Amino acid sequence: MTLITASDGHSSGPSRSTRSSRRLLIAIVVTALTAVASLVVSAPPADAATSQFRGMNWAVLGDNFSTGTLVVQGLSQSDSNATVRAKANALYDDMASTMGVNTVRLPINTHTVANTTWWNAYRGAIDAATARGFKVILAYWEDGAASGGRITNIAAWNTMWSSVTNTYGSNSNVYFEPMNEPHGYTSAEWRNVAANWLSYHTSAVPGRVLIGGTGYSQDLRDICNDSRFNSTLLSFHHYAFFYGAMTYDAFRSHIQTRLGNCASRAVATEFGAPMSTGLNYGDANSTDNFVRHIRAMAQVMRDNQMGGTYWPALGGKPGDIGYDWYSMYALSGSGTDLNLTVRNTSGADRIRYAWGDTIGGGDSTYRINVRHSGKAMDVQQPNTDNGARVGQYTYGGNAWQQWQFQDAGSGYWRIISRHSGKCLDVVSASTADGAELIQYTCGTGTNQQFQMVANGGYFQLRARHSSKCVDVPSASTADGVILKQYPCNTGTNQQWSRTAV
């Protein structure tokens, strides 16, 4: 079977191609089987919604199918619990500040939990998340205790889950997914395995258990109709490569159909598309199949107030063995000083839209606050003239202190004053230290394009033309200080946050 390629003609890379080829080989068969197995759903929809899950999959580079211990990207098996926690917190800070993430889906397998030294360290990623109020979904990935999408060593699987549920069963922020993609089972077989799991692991509260759909977790209808799972959540996967090209409307209908009547109990624990090839996920008229799919998936999730965990958060870099071109973030830094940068702002915005956010391009208005003083970015005087200087000032709810973000492509934004409709601009496109920030009629200049570089729960605003950062000079806390560009550093006078108004 031919691999799906990126829009620029390059192959998807080892990680996604391995995953894709496995799925593509069965796509035709799966589609045929699901068509035969389709049922008329009569069960009433559940009362709850799952929009509280705004998440990312944190995965092993190259996917989580392994017969060894699982070490997700950014961690090392030599890390201590404290080091894992520090690394996890650095990544969670950036996930939260850039996209409002509050959930992480983490893989486990029998080897990971049985290796006491590594399990004690790896738990730092779980505990760091729950300590900050994040939800954690612990999902079992096929390993030596499973083969071909079936559990072949039930005793080892149950031993692993007993250890996990006994440890985290009382933690209301931890959720359990008995098996990721149980594709080796018939519908009846999988439902029996899942029901037996619920009966065996009584320390796992059913309301914090996610039962995967049949096949590659891409059809919830049989699970939804089985009364043994009325109290559980449901895990749903959907990718464009499962099914091939469709129109936007066809994708929407297809996704909604496979959710059955249980969309309100479903969490989209895996969905994704290329984030490294410059696709514009904000283009409602796009003919690209990936764009159509993500837009359709996001709309179905939004319509049903349905949460999800995007696949994956991290995925290496081009050229890495196991590079995943679907990855939302590029990872930089070393040791415990790790940072994430969004690869595709339109893609990130579409995922936030799926979670119920209003997004940039005129949908949302923000106050932009500098960390060291807590003051807001402000058009001085104020007026609507070209060249009006931009500074910091105590926030008063004024339109000249409110800004909108417009996607400029390639990970950059135009920042537009609500008061004047003009863009934040480095005066005269200067690359010099100390060049002032002004407002000016929006154009195509790179001196009006800024990258939001996540940094410890805040972000730097890095000008595209100069690679310098928006800075409050001398870290002044005074009202009226004019913003300037300077080489980027770790000062809190270069760290910003934004709050919707």
Residue-wise pLDDT for 141-161, tens only, equals: 999 999 999 999 999 999 999
pLDDT score of 362 more than 80: no
Q: Is residue 8 part of a domain?
A: no
* φ, ψ (nearest 5 deg) of residue 25: -60, -30
Q: Which pLDDT value is given to residue 34?
A: 36
Token pair for 66: 């392994």
Task: Classify the C-alpha dihedral 114-115-116-121 as positive or negative.
Answer: negative
Residues 234 and 284 in one domain: yes
434 burial (CB, 10 Å; 0-12 / 13-18 / 19+) is: exposed
Q: Is residue 5 part of a domain?
A: no
44 burial (CB, 10 Å; 0-12 / 13-18 / 19+) is: exposed
Residues 420 and 327 in one domain: no
User: b/e for 171-204, b at 16 or more Cβ within 10 A?
Assistant: eebbbbbbbbbbbbbebeebbebbbebbeebeeb
Residues 327 and 390 in one domain: no
Domain range for 130:
14-37+51-354
Q: Is residue 228 part of a domain?
A: yes
3-state SS, residue 342: strand
Smallest CA-to-CA distance from 495 within 467, 450, 464, 459 is with 459
**What does pTM read for this prediction?**
0.69
| HSE-CB of 258 using CA atoms within 13 angstroms | 30
Q: Which pLDDT value is given to residue 381?
A: 82
Q: Which pLDDT value is given to residue 127?
A: 98
Any idea what DSSP says for residue 115?
-
What percentage of residues in the chain have a pLDDT greater than 70?
A: 88
Cis? peptide before 382, omega within 30° of 0? yes
Q: Which pLDDT value is given to residue 384?
A: 83
Which of 354, 380, 412 is the C-terminal boundary of a domain? 354
Residue 375 CB neighbours (<10 A): 23
CATH number, domain of 373, equals 2.80.10.50
Q: Where are the beta strands (DSSP E) in 37-156?
A: 54-57, 103-108, 135-140, 146-147, 150-151
Q: Is residue 46 part of a domain?
A: no
3-state SS, residue 416: strand
Q: Which pLDDT value is given to residue 500?
A: 73
- Report the domain count for the chain: 2
Which of 320, 354, 388 is the C-terminal boundary of a domain? 354
pLDDT score of 327 more than 60: yes
Residues 375 and 333 in one domain: no
Average pLDDT score, the chain: 88
Q: Is residue 361 part of a domain?
A: no
pLDDT score of 7 more than 80: no
Angle between the N-to-C axes of helices 116-131 and 81-99, in degrees from 0 to 180, rounded to the nearest 10: 40
Any idea what DSSP says for residue 174?
E
| Least confident range of 100-114, 320-334, 347-361, 478-492 | 347-361
3-state SS, residue 46: coil
Residues 377 and 335 in one domain: no
Token pair for 85: 């926690």
For residues 259 and 267, the answer to whether their CB atoms sit within 8 Å is: no
Residues 189 and 158 in one domain: yes
Residues 265 and 412 in one domain: no
Q: Which pLDDT value is given to residue 458?
A: 82
Token pair for 301: 């999730």
Residues in the chain: 501
What percentage of residues in the chain have a pLDDT greater than 90?
A: 75
Token pair for 347: 């893609």
Q: Is residue 129 part of a domain?
A: yes
Which of 354, 383, 411 is the C-terminal boundary of a domain? 354
331-338's contacts with Cβ under 8 Å and 24+ in sequence apart are 331/73, 331/74, 331/91, 333/90, 336/83, 336/86, 336/87, 336/90, 337/90, 338/74, 338/87, 338/90, 338/91
Strands 266-270 and 135-140: unpaired
C-alpha separations of 121 from 81, 84, 134 in Å? 4, 6, 19
Residues 245 and 340 in one domain: yes
Residues 295 and 400 in one domain: no
Instruction: Give the mean pLDDT of 221-226.
Output: 97
Q: Is residue 184 part of a domain?
A: yes
d(Cα 104, Cα 107) in Å, to the nearest integer? 10
Strands 135-140 and 146-147: unpaired
Pick 389 or 357 by higher pLDDT. Answer: 389
Q: Which pLDDT value is given to residue 244?
A: 87
Token pair for 151: 């559990």
Q: Which pLDDT value is given to residue 456?
A: 62
Residues 413 and 380 in one domain: yes
Residues 118 and 218 in one domain: yes
Residues 432 and 486 in one domain: yes
Smallest CA-to-CA distance from 286 within 270, 302, 273 is with 273
CATH number, domain of 98, equals 3.20.20.80
Cα pseudo-dihedral 222, 228, 230, 236, rounded to 10: -40
pLDDT in tens, 56-82: 999 999 999 999 999 999 999 999 999
Split at pLDDT 50, 70, 90, the class of 15 is: very low
pLDDT score of 104 more than 60: yes
Q: Is residue 232 part of a domain?
A: yes
